[in-house]
Structure 1
């Protein structure tokens, strides 16, 4: 059993996952070519078959700033309409797509009883900041204006982002505030990187050995940003923004995660700005534990999904 510097034990199921990665000789993502990193990420996150059944799954596109944006709409079973929940996937802004987070979106659909709309935003480095953010904002605005077209209600709207998608979710909330809409009633940020910096205790404690490494994060940021100056922009590093007027928030962090302290600090900033914010830390988990839902033994991931479901459901109903 691996022991953390704060005397917290790594979850035994996660430890088995990390040992399996080591036994397979899988190199860190930052050492792989972009193509190989994308393929490896897909292998780690896409289950052999869907884990959670939902009412329906529909693919379509919506207008974006640089062309059509693919989205995937997950509707719960039963009679709608249901509140809409926008979802922005993780992958360091350079990895991931609709398939890598399909299992998580299905679980969120069941847990929240919302119409989950996953956004297949443009990836870096082919499309650098703020391309992904503008895509996510455009899709969110489209859903707010066309909710009935996807079987969603029009009186509430929530957002959720995982990892880099959590950074995008915070950025979407800032854009919605600064551009006069749409109104976001709740945001869920799942272990979000909120600052272009690598100097926190968690970056030191969890620099390597726990799936996501500090070097991975450096590569992700460097691929996403056009320049160092972008890293100081509040839409890229939302912890640098003025946070008054942000929506009520749930922030989930993991103990064995280089960006753990980014999430903790963001909660503090939200509270200082008078924003209702709830923080859940899963001390014994690693970054990215939620898309591991294809492993039915990862009990803590299911617990976290239930917490998210309760928080979102309570905010949009």
Structure 2
């Protein structure tokens, strides 16, 4: 379908300001652009309780923020990993959508930061993401959460980290997960699908821009064969938690994400794809600028409620 009119207006505004793709910036400038997404968001919702804490990452403490909605426990838990191309993003940029997910699901949402590239290339981010999951499983009962009812979620680079954290906890016998929500995840730097070419330019995240992010994140070419960096490289995808994979029509990484969902399905994983026609990468962080962001939020909340409902928890 046609590009959403609000997305089109946003792209025109970005172009008028001289923005065309992230690779034209320095890392610090790109981080600044990612931070400006807060200006595209609706007013953040109130939640019953917010706690700013830290968890022990691989080489030191890292920030996390806990959102506790109204209601009584034990509540389901969502561990959310923010996007930002592996080089940017924070719990502050993800604050508005995390509050909305907490209120929309009745789940406690834990938003965790992780070390960023290029200062901390792979495997720093997935190591920290897994450490955050271990912390959540060990500590969330203190906040009224159910450590046996955890869902992983993330957008973009955070969607990649959610996918690889699901793989790692399966491989290492870590906490059992009830589901994974991969919001337009970036999956493979070497993918070559129709969307890779059709939407390579003009839709906020370009193919050169995506390559730029990957080049900062991966420490060397061999990392692209590591399933904890590129989850589609895993030899076995069976035994993973039910997955919701959300994609957008006008998105360079659309087909690689949908291919990963298909591979999950082939491995016997309950995997559902929801494509949003007319939308682009990043809309989950655009609730104020793009009204149809609410459709993405609704899909996330529906899946979380479904996989964490008492009838589905064993």
Distance 1:47 1:21, change over 3 A: closer
**CA–CA distance in structure 2, aligned partners of residues 285 and 20 of structure 1:** 16
Task: Compare 152-161 and 120-129 and name the one that shifted more.
Answer: 152-161
Matched, 1:309 2:301: yes
Normalising by the residue count of structure 1, what TM-score does the alignment of the two structures yield? 0.94
Please point out which of 1, 4, 26 is paired with 1:33. 26
Please point out which of 262, 265, 269 is paired with 1:268. 262
**CA–CA distance in structure 1, aligned partners of residues 67 and 40 of structure 2:** 17
Quote how far apart the aligned CAs of 1:151 are: 2.3
Q: Deviations over 1:276-297 (max 9, x none)?
A: 01110002100111111133xx
Matched, 1:183 2:176: yes
Give the conservation status (yes or no) of the 8 Å contact 1:46–1:99: no
**Which SS does the other structure have where 2:128 is aligned?**
helix
**Which SS does the other structure have where 2:35 is aligned?**
helix
Matched, 1:258 2:266: no
Q: Deviations over 1:18-70 (max 9, x none)?
A: 11111222242110111111111111335688422211221101112111121
Q: Deviations over 1:60-87 (max 9, x none)?
A: 0111211112101111123333211000
**Which SS does the other structure have where 1:83 is aligned?**
strand
Quote how far apart the aligned CAs of 1:170 are: 0.5
Aligned residues: 308
Give the conservation status (yes or no) of the 8 Å contact 2:191–2:256: no
**CA–CA distance in structure 2, aligned partners of residues 207 and 49 of structure 1:** 29
**Which SS does the other structure have where 1:293 is aligned?**
coil
Give the conservation status (yes or no) of the 8 Å contact 1:176–1:182: yes
Name 1:141's counterpart in structure 2: 134
Name 1:102's counterpart in structure 2: 95
5+ unaligned residues in a row in structure 1: which ranges?
1-7
5+ unaligned residues in a row in structure 2: which ranges?
310-314
Give the conservation status (yes or no) of the 8 Å contact 1:97–1:120: yes
Name 1:157's counterpart in structure 2: 150
**CA–CA distance in structure 1, aligned partners of residues 42 and 256 of structure 2:** 34
**Which SS does the other structure have where 2:122 is aligned?**
coil
Distance 1:48 1:175, change over 3 A: closer
